[in-house]
Structure 1
Amino acid sequence: MSTSTDASTDASVAAAVQSAVAAYAHALDANRIDDLVELFHPDGVAEIAGVGTFEGHDAIRQGYAAFAPTRPQLHLVGNTVVTSATEDEATAVSNLAFFQRGDSGWAVQLVGRYDDTLRRKDGEWRFQRRVTTFLP
């Protein structure tokens, strides 16, 4: 991490980023769209490769509602690295694997990464921009 003021700030920011990343995956998999939307700032942006760019809560809600899960699914997100941080803004990158349960069990459907910018406002860390890309 760069630009932080001290180790305790680094640890606090890293924990907040990890929490937001995990909350997003859980909300997405459980189709809790309102919870997912609340993880973004009101003017936040969700950009999903091959799907679209959604700006603001209403657009994010509509965008995610369009691909509600039809089968049990699981986003496993890991290797999250906070690439820069201050007390009020952080950038991070994470790897993801998306699993879906079918007739023969769980199977990987795709892999990709998240590139995130989060900002803190009123003590809450939320996504300002989340870019999802998929790996071939």
Structure 2
Amino acid sequence: MKKVFSLFILCISIFSFAQSKAPFTGKRSFNIVEGYSGTGTPAYYLNVKKNGDVYFGYVQVNQASGEETTEEMNAGKYNPTVMKAQFKKFNEIFYVKFDKEKIYLTDEKGNIQKSEDCCSALESDKGSCTCESVFYQ
């Protein structure tokens, strides 16, 4: 019985170390792709829970009518390589990875993307910029 209990404790320890610890807990907003005028650019956020669950969400306000659209989805446990956010209302899927200070738009394998859509007004002459954002609290 003592050997079974020791084996059980060992398995739990290995499982705990196998999971990557999220770089922070709490809610952070981000803006990877610069928005354009129209119905309102979504304000994206992520919320990392103490148990490692990561939720992605957005709030979008229609500038003409004032109507607010929101959605939040559970992306699963924190993964430092790549995480998938899939929003149903607008049939939107994107892949990201993040650390304590920034979030990066990636492909399915975790490679950081570059695009002219990710350039700020100051960088518009570059043609292609790294798709990243600092976090806002």
TM-score, with normalisation over the residues of structure 2?
0.33
Question: Would you tell me which structure has more helix in proportion to its own residues?
Answer: 1
Question: Would you tell me which structure has more strand in proportion to its own residues?
Answer: 1
Greater Rg by CA: 2
Higher relative contact order (CA 8 A, sep 6+): 1
TM-score, with normalisation over the residues of structure 1?
0.33
